[in-house]
Structure 1
Amino acid sequence: MLQRVQYGAQQGRRTRQPGPRQDVTVRGLDLWGTSLRTGKDSTGVLVEDLNARYVSEYSTLPMPADDELAIEPGEGHIVVSRILDSGVQLLGTGNTLRDSEIGYSAGTGVLVRGSGNTVTNTYIHDIGWMGSYTPGIEINGSDHTVTHNTVRRTGRGSIDVSWQLNGVPFHNNEIAYNDLSEAMRTSRDGSPFYVCCNLDATGTSVDHNIVHDDDGQVG
């Protein structure tokens, strides 16, 4: 299933094609003030040459529901608000986003969730100006490949793994050859590549990434 997600005044309104989608190619799509999401049951979807601007806009950070957290609920968890419901969302299994540009999001730039999905050769910029944990790329799940991307100008992290949201395993992911710059523009406690908390990253490799020109107090 492919969904066009509308944010702003009509947040939550979606245009959708019913039923799971397999082996679909979406090429050369231009989006402004809206986003794209592959369905949880989709497989083999290729999204390439996507140009998406202002993919998520909101002015509130609601507290995540207690049953959405893998750790004890607390007031501090408002920082993870909207990580999993903003940005271009690559859900399902074996789906790919490549050769694209994603820019201008109050929240996440690209969400990678499910298993075996790929984000490569994509430029992601001007993300996360609400100052929460929403990153350029959020990786959630196992067997994902995130390589050869450029992530520039983020409120907090360039790449984030928020295990505390749903506690899923983080096995056999490849995160390599990404250029991460100008992170931490609205936050003073974090890092360009941020991981929380009791993460089992068996088989995951993080290598050959370049991190430079970050702002804030990295810690």
Structure 2
Amino acid sequence: MDIDEARAEVSRIFDAPLEALTEGRRLSVVPGVPEGEWDLPAPDREALWSHGLPPARDDSLYGLVADYQSAREPELVTDGSRLYGIGGFGEARVAARAGSGEVLAVPTFTYDEVHPQLQHMFPDGVRPVLLNSSVARLVDFAWRWHWLLPVLTAQQTWAGAEETTAWGNARTPEEKAALPDFYAEIRELCEEVVERFRQFDGPAVSNEDSPWREAVMEYL
């Protein structure tokens, strides 16, 4: 798949309905508790129990996957808020705030576990951060990311291989200096993905440190 084919596939994924992305809900993983048991807004409950979240991946990539608590009452408490554990995203626990449905990425490590050279980045400790403004938006993001991830990763891998080959073939400093930015096209495509996410849920991609932006632009 070349970059033009990748861009077309990205457009297809963003334009596809959730019914298609979940393969008619065959892939959907939904909570094990009855829908009415969790205190979430009605649109959030409908999205989560209808389309669910993606299953665990089998390709070693870090997507957002379902990992539901089994209890009816919120199992997590942070900053005075009660949260339902609903998924995993890399090193973070994905949790929905009872009542509002706001979704947070809750770190699974502590401040003391951060490398000393990085602790200046966490002066107030490692805190939960906003992931999505609602569970319904999380469900949408999670399924699109489930299919976007391998497309973007393949393009990034290809760019890296091309760069390595070109540098290996360059014989002089002048030839090396003339080499192009092999990551330019995939970086541009990833920026387009970030913008599509921002259009759908602005608070979730409000700055460069937002979890979704970091996930899309990782290593770029």
Normalising by structure 2, we get a TM-score of: 0.24
Higher relative contact order (CA 8 A, sep 6+): 2
Judging by fraction of residues, say which structure has more helix: 2
TM-score with structure 1 setting the length: 0.24
In terms of fraction of residues, the more strand-rich structure is 1
Kindly name which structure, 1 or 2, has the bigger radius of gyration based on alpha carbons: 2
